[in-house]
Structure 1
């Protein structure tokens, strides 16, 4: 821990932790960010202290902290705090698991933290998790559990699993006693995850709505081919053939052979 008043300070109004919090970062930055996120407020997160706790050198950690700042997870600054009857300025590092833009951090520095608009509707994955208790009362989940497991359930839906298949996979063959429903569901969502489906190849062709001649979309504007639209297939040349030959003869006669 840092000296009183110093060290890490968590930014307010962060989203719940998920397994995809720092997946947009390179592995080293993600590992260091996850470690800092796990520390409680007031922890010493100076470069030297982090280098002692993590398998990275001071230069690497300093580079990562700078990149976390660029990504909106971290801001360094000072804050005026009261110490008895005195006001002192302390150096603090503010950390946000949820990436913030410059506008948010500017408002935070003014003490005017913008509140995020709450979702009025829940995702299909969240609703499925919340409804598990109706099928199996022993698997009743809390709101926090549903939010935590939502990304895993979303992956099932992305891979094409139906609601009936998901419910059967999570509720079939339950043990007699379930002490931690969320842990059991998390395990089943991971171990029973169906394989990703191969992309479906679409075999489809377009045809003229009148003569049924096949063709591409460009060749069938309005759904009709050139013939059925009355458009001639071959455009007539701008000049008659005789004039074209006459122009060509004039060009040839004007050319002088090299000596």
Structure 2
């Protein structure tokens, strides 16, 4: 982690890991680290942001775990900062419905981290692209529920038999126009993803086997479209040849067929539904309205406490100004009494140290939702 001025509180190597498939997950595709990454945040939130940014993927992200590992703040400050980072666009809690090939299903909550603040629209699109992902290696056994068994067939009366036979005969008749495959639809959708990549009907049919091979190796249509449209030149003279070259050169690695066909292979699992969840409670889009990653009830609770993000930032600015102004006045007062500057060695505690202690004490009080103390010379 290349920070010129790193946070004084960084995670330890012994920071606990979450269960497989849980914990911190970086969204990826971000610029290199810079000291200005979190300059838009207040000091406390920026410190938590640097702490989280130094965590590896899979590290536990609960506010209690972070508070236990952070040397400067407790659970309340950790919970408040995680919510602030969520509203600022750095964090999102997303619930994913996992369906395993044995028809078992479960809900899991993922924690996604972005060093770059993202908009609500960006996170919405990110969650949408999670749908259909293969998560075979990133889910735990143990099910929330399973598919109900098929109902037993009901006896058919003599009057219904001719009608049932007619419906069965219609169902056996082949369709005149078969539905296009997922690989074909992905190739046909390139024109909408980027106007520089219009493929003809013949080109989509010719490239369909290559695209189908991508999907068979675990890639999603969104992955394939992103690989085919990232970093395009200003003009593409031959879209069909360009797509073929990229499909061949960027083909995902072949899966281990031996491991997948053996008796002990992991069951295939796929994300079949994605919904946003609140950063501070168990509510999600099914039961509450999520605004910038936080449900309306939690936002109302924050408003009742009277300590908003702007209040915290203003409090830090006022404390810093008060400390600097008070130190200057105390120095002038002492100099008038003594007839000149007084060295710090003649004082019980240097003025700068008193200002620092006062600022640090009030910073911690504001972080925990308490009003700052007045300066006592």
Give me the TM-score of the superposition, normalised by structure 2: 0.29
Give me the TM-score of the superposition, normalised by structure 1: 0.42
Structure with max Cα Rg: 1
